[in-house]
Amino acid sequence: MNGMYSFLKEKTVLVTGGTGSFGQRFVATVLQESVKKVIIFSRDELKQYEMAQSFDDPRIRFFIGDVRDKERLYRAFDGVDIVVHAAALKQVPAAEYNPFEAVKTNIIGTQNVIDAAIDCGVEKIIALSTDKAVNPINLYGATKLASEKIFVAANAYVGERKTRFAVVRYGNVVGSRGSVVPLFIRLKKTGRLPITDVRMTRFWITLDQGVRFVLASLDRMHGGEIFVPKIPSMRVVDLAKAICPECEQEIIGIRPGEKIHEVLIPDDDARRTVEYDDHYVIQPDFVWWKKEYTNGGKPVPEGFRYSSDTNREWLTVEQLRTYIAALLAEESDDR
């Protein structure tokens, strides 16, 4: 993989929330490139200590801090070229019970990141978002929608400075902490797996796919885009069959803040969406946006909607089983 991302050469890269599932895989990937330095910015000293045991590279640094603390961000961003903003409170039930804590991290924290990036001269910064930001019905999704909006708008007030902002929006990450795959694997021994609704569908993306898409988006971004990957859908009942075909599926009903299907691009955004071979770009609604940036892409039809239930690509039980086996083998190797 070394040399795949030439734009990283001799750059200093910082990841907020870098001890999370995405952050750890992202750092492992970036360290294969000729980067100058990689900085992990996160709150938890124990997670940083544990992560440090996994990496033996003089280019990695650990910086304890919280995106709520603007002064700390200014110190951390000094001399940084590229930022990936992955820090967030993302557990839906926790956000519902502690609403303003989610607001302080996911919205106010994002504004702090923007201010620090502009004033410290960061070149490129990309934020991770989620399908839950589209037509949100829970507080987590609402905070991520607000985060997307202020991130895209940040490009309009950088003035003559070089900082550019973009967003990556994708679905549930397979195997990440708190996702359904580890839950089903853990409950497999009980002989019963909980299914909220037999109709439920989700988009499917692996950690490696997410990392590669973020890096590709960093390379191609001009500022203001929302990048959406083309990824397959899966039925949650098929996932349960793939993990434990002999398990009983217990229907427990839709949980608060949960949708039956997820949407990555709503039809309201179709007029600003351009399709490429492996991704979509939702263009910013700014007068300064240059349409020639989209060369090679084609506008999607009016009324287009990218939803997990009407997706053109689906994973079968057999394919899901193969992915999960690979995931388990990878985790075994890590241990």
Alpha-carbon torsion (280, 286, 289, 291), positive or negative: positive
Report pLDDT for 298: 93
Contact 90, 178 (CB under 8 A): yes
Rounded to an integer, what distance in angstroms lies between the CA atom of residue 312 and that of residue 300? 15
Is residue 162 classed exposed, middle or buried when 0-12, 13-18 and 19+ CB atoms within 10 A define those classes?
Answer: exposed
What SS3 class is residue 275?
strand
Rounded to an integer, what distance in angstroms lies between the CA atom of residue 186 and that of residue 192? 11
Please give the structure tokens belonging to residue 17: 């929330």
The DSSP-derived string for 140-202 is HHHHHHHHHHHHHHGGGG-TTS--EEEEEEE-PBTT-TTSHHHHHHHHGGGTEEEES-TT-EE
What are the domain boundaries of the chain? 6-171+206-230+264-306
Q: Which residues pair with 216 in a beta bridge?
A: none
- Taking the alpha carbons at both ends of the chain, their separation in whole angstroms is 23
What SS3 class is residue 277?
coil
* Per-residue pLDDT at 3 exceeds 80: no
* Per-residue pLDDT at 46 exceeds 90: yes
Where is pLDDT greater, at 295 or 27?
27
Rg, the chain, Cα only: 20
Q: What is the pLDDT of residues 241-266, one digit of tens each?
A: 999 999 999 999 988 788 999 999 99
Rounded to an integer, what distance in angstroms lies between the CA atom of residue 38 and that of residue 15? 8
Rounded to an integer, what distance in angstroms lies between the CA atom of residue 24 and that of residue 303? 38
* Per-residue pLDDT at 171 exceeds 50: yes
Report pLDDT for 263: 97
- Reported as a pLDDT band with limits 50, 70 and 90, residue 178 is low
Q: Which of 20, 16, 76, 14 is nearest to 39 (CA)?
A: 14
Alpha-carbon torsion (180, 28, 126, 225), positive or negative: negative
Percentages of the chain per state (helix, strand, coil), in multiples of 5: 40, 20, 35
Question: pTM (2 decimals)?
Answer: 0.94
* DSSP structural state of residue 17: T
Report pLDDT for 167: 98
Rounded to an integer, what distance in angstroms lies between the CA atom of residue 299 and that of residue 272? 8
Q: What is the pLDDT of residues 93-123, one digit of tens each?
A: 899 999 999 999 999 999 999 999 999 999 9
Residues with catalytic function: 132
Q: What is the pLDDT of residues 263-322, one digit of tens each?
A: 999 999 999 999 999 999 999 988 777 765 566 889 999 999 999 999 999 999 999 999
Report pLDDT for 265: 98
Which H/E stretch holds residue 116?
helix 109-120
Q: Which residues pair with 314 in a beta bridge?
A: 233
* Per-residue pLDDT at 162 exceeds 60: yes
Where is pLDDT greater, at 73 or 287?
73
Strand-strand pairing, 279-282 and 273-275: antiparallel
Q: What is the pLDDT of residues 194-229, one digit of tens each?
A: 999 999 999 999 999 999 999 999 999 999 999 999
Report pLDDT for 174: 77
Topology adopted by domain 6-171+206-230+264-306: Rossmann fold (3.40.50)
Q: Which residues pair with 13 in a beta bridge?
A: 38, 82
Report pLDDT for 294: 61
Q: What are phi and psi of 162, to 5 degrees?
A: -90, -10
Report pLDDT for 332: 56
* Per-residue pLDDT at 1 exceeds 50: no
* DSSP structural state of residue 115: H
CA angle 254-322-279, nearest 5°? Answer: 70
User: What residue type is assigned to position 87 of the chain?
Assistant: A
Mean pLDDT score of the chain, rounded to an integer? Answer: 92
Please give the structure tokens belonging to residue 328: 């388990």
Report pLDDT for 175: 66
